[in-house]
Amino acid sequence: MTLNRSILLSTVLYVIAISAVIAVLGHGKPAKVISLFAVSGLATGALYALGGIGLVVLYRATGVLNIAYGAMGAAAAMFAWQLGQWGIIPPLTWVCGIALALVLSLTYGRGIAPRLAFQPPVVKAVATLGAALIILGGVNFFWVDDVRKFSLPTDTIGIQILGLRVTATRLIVLLTAIAVVIVIQSYLKHSIRGLQMRSIANDRALSALLGIPILRVETLAWGISGLLAGFTGLLFGDLIRLEPTVITFMVIPAIAAAICGRLENLWLVLIGGLSIGLIESLMTLSPLFKSIRPVTPFAIAVLAMLWMQRGTRLIFDEEK
Amino acid sequence: MRRLILPLTLVSAFGATGALADESAPHCGANTGEAATGEPIKIGGIHGNAAPGDFSSSTDAAAAYFSCVNANGGIHGRPIEYLVENDQWNPELAGQAASKLLVDEAVVAMVGNGSFLEMAVNAGTYKDADMMVMASACAVSECFESSNIVSTNQGPLGSNVGVIQYMQEELGVQSVACISLAIPNVGTWSCDAVTGYMEENGGTAQSVFLNPAAPDVNSAMLEAIATGADTMLVNLPAGLATAVLKAAEEQDLRDAYKWAAPTTLYDLSVPAALGEYWDGHIYVNAELAPFTDGGDDNQNWIKVMDGFANADDPRDTFSQSGYLSAKFFVETLLKMDAGDVGDREKVNAAITGISGYASDLMCGPYYVGEADFHYPNHAGHVVLIKDGSFEVVRDCFEYNSAYFDPHIAIETTLGLR
Taking residues A188-210, what's their average pLDDT? 86
- Residue A318: is its pLDDT beyond 60? no
* Cβ contact B52–A145 (<8 Å): yes
- Residue A267 and residue A276: Cα distance in Å, rounded? 14
- Residue B124, C-beta contacts closer than 8 angstroms, at least 6 positions apart: none
Residue A316 pLDDT class (50, 70, 90 cuts): low
**A169 → chain B, closest CA residue:** B250
For chain A, state the CA radius of gyration: 20
Q: Is residue A233 part of a domain?
A: yes
* Cβ contact B250–A155 (<8 Å): yes
Minimum distance, in Å, between the CA of residue B228 and any CA atom of chain A: 12
Residue B51 pLDDT class (50, 70, 90 cuts): low
Cα A127 to the chain's mean position, in Å? 19
Taking residues A20-41, what's their average pLDDT? 84
> How many other C-beta atoms can be found within 10 angstroms of the C-beta atom of residue B276?
10
Strands annotated E in B117-219 = 133-135, 137-138, 149-151, 175-181, 204-210
Q: Is residue A303 part of a domain?
A: no
Whole-model pTM above 0.95? no
- In Å, the largest CA–CA distance within chain B is 64
Please tell me the predicted confidence (pLDDT) of residue A270.
Answer: 93
Element (H, E) at A19: helix A2-25
Which amino acid is it at B395?
D
Q: Is residue A9 part of a domain?
A: no
User: What are the start-end ranges of the H helices in A26-160?
Assistant: 31-62, 69-85, 90-111, 121-142
What is the number of residues in chain B? Answer: 417
Please tell me the predicted confidence (pLDDT) of residue B328.
Answer: 98
> How many other C-beta atoms can be found within 10 angstroms of the C-beta atom of residue A259?
25
Please tell me the predicted confidence (pLDDT) of residue A1.
Answer: 52
Contacts of A244 in chain B (CB under 8 A): 51
- Residue B19: is its pLDDT beyond 80? no
Please tell me the predicted confidence (pLDDT) of residue A257.
Answer: 93
Domains contained in chain A, number: 1
> Of A143, A242, A280, which has the smallest distance from its Cβ to B1's Cβ?
A143
Share the mean pLDDT of chain B.
91
SS3 content of chain B, % helix, strand, coil (to 5): 45, 20, 35
- Residue B208, C-beta contacts closer than 8 angstroms, at least 6 positions apart: B177, B178, B179, B180, B220, B223, B224, B227
Which of A241, A247, A276 would best serve as a mutation to test chain B binding (most B beta carbons within 10 A)? A241
Please tell me the predicted confidence (pLDDT) of residue B1.
Answer: 43
Residue A33 pLDDT class (50, 70, 90 cuts): confident
- Residue A214: is its pLDDT beyond 60? yes
Q: Closest Cα to residue B57, out of B304, B294, B358? A: B304
List, for residues A126-167, the tens digit of each pLDDT value: 999 999 999 999 998 888 777 788 888 888 888 888 777 888
> According to the 3-state scheme, what is the secondary structure of B37-78?
CCCCEEEEEEECEECCEECCHHHHHHHHHHHHHHCCCCECCE
DSSP A220-239: HHHHHHHHHHHHHHHHHHHH
Look at A302 and B97; give whichever has higher pLDDT: B97
> Of A140, A148, A165, which has the smallest distance from its Cβ to B251's Cβ?
A165
Give the whole-number percent of chain B exceeding pLDDT 90: 79
Please tell me the predicted confidence (pLDDT) of residue A178.
Answer: 92
- Residue B214, C-beta contacts closer than 8 angstroms, at least 6 positions apart: A280, A293, A294
Q: Closest Cα to residue B402, out of B258, B205, B192, B251? A: B192
Q: Is residue A8 part of a domain?
A: no
For chain A, helix (H) and strand (E) counts, in that order, are 13, 2
Which of A29, A145, A285 would best serve as a mutation to test chain B binding (most B beta carbons within 10 A)? A145
Q: Which domain holds residue A239?
A: 47-259
List, for residues B286-309, the tens digit of each pLDDT value: 999 999 899 999 999 999 999 999
Asked if A282 contacts A38 with a C-beta cutoff of 8 angstroms, the reply is yes
Asked if B48 contacts B116 with a C-beta cutoff of 8 angstroms, the reply is yes
Please tell me the predicted confidence (pLDDT) of residue A312.
Answer: 62
CB-count burial class (<10 Å; 0-12, 13-18, 19+) for B393: middle
CB-count burial class (<10 Å; 0-12, 13-18, 19+) for B128: exposed
Q: What is the residue extent of each domain of chain B?
A: 2-154+291-377, 156-286+380-413
Asked if B216 contacts A240 with a C-beta cutoff of 8 angstroms, the reply is yes
Q: Which residues of B touch A (CB under 8 A)?
A: 1-3, 5-6, 49, 51-54, 182, 209, 211, 213-220, 222-223, 225-226, 238-240, 242-243, 246, 249-252, 267, 269-270, 273-275
List, for residues A86-113, the tens digit of each pLDDT value: 999 999 999 999 999 999 999 999 999 9
Share the mean pLDDT of chain A.
88
Please tell me the predicted confidence (pLDDT) of residue B15.
Answer: 40
Q: Closest Cα to residue A101, out of A232, A263, A252? A: A232
Please tell me the predicted confidence (pLDDT) of residue B244.
Answer: 92
Taking residues B146-166, what's their average pLDDT? 96
- Residue B278: is its pLDDT beyond 90? yes
Q: Is residue A177 part of a domain?
A: yes
Contact of A280 with chain B, judged by CB distance below 8 Å, is answered with yes
Minimum distance, in Å, between the CA of residue B238 and any CA atom of chain A: 6
Pairing of strands A164-167, A158-161: antiparallel
Look at B332 and B239; give whichever has higher pLDDT: B332
Please tell me the predicted confidence (pLDDT) of residue B235.
Answer: 95
Question: Which long-range contacts does A113-120 make (Cβ < 8 Å, 24+ apart)?
Answer: A113/A62, A113/A64, A113/A218, A113/A222, A114/A215, A114/A218, A117/A204, A118/A204, A118/A205, A120/A319
CATH topology of domain B2-154+291-377: Rossmann fold (3.40.50)
- Residue A128 and residue A122: Cα distance in Å, rounded? 10
Pairing of strands B282-286, B258-261: parallel
Q: Closest Cα to residue B52, out of B250, B184, B221, B243? A: B243
Residue B75 pLDDT class (50, 70, 90 cuts): very high
Q: Is residue A179 part of a domain?
A: yes
Contact of A284 with chain B, judged by CB distance below 8 Å, is answered with yes
Q: Which CATH class is domain B156-286+380-413?
A: alpha beta
- Residue B4: is its pLDDT beyond 60? no
List, for residues B109-142, the tens digit of each pLDDT value: 999 999 988 999 999 999 999 999 999 999 999 9
Backbone angles phi, psi at A178, to 5 degrees: -65, -45
Q: Is residue A186 part of a domain?
A: yes
- Residue B310 and residue B312: Cα distance in Å, rounded? 5
List, for residues B324-351, the tens digit of each pLDDT value: 999 999 999 999 999 999 999 999 999 9
- Residue B22: is its pLDDT beyond 70? no
Which of A239, A247, A284 would best serve as a mutation to test chain B binding (most B beta carbons within 10 A)? A284
- Residue B2: is its pLDDT beyond 50? no
Q: Is residue A318 part of a domain?
A: no
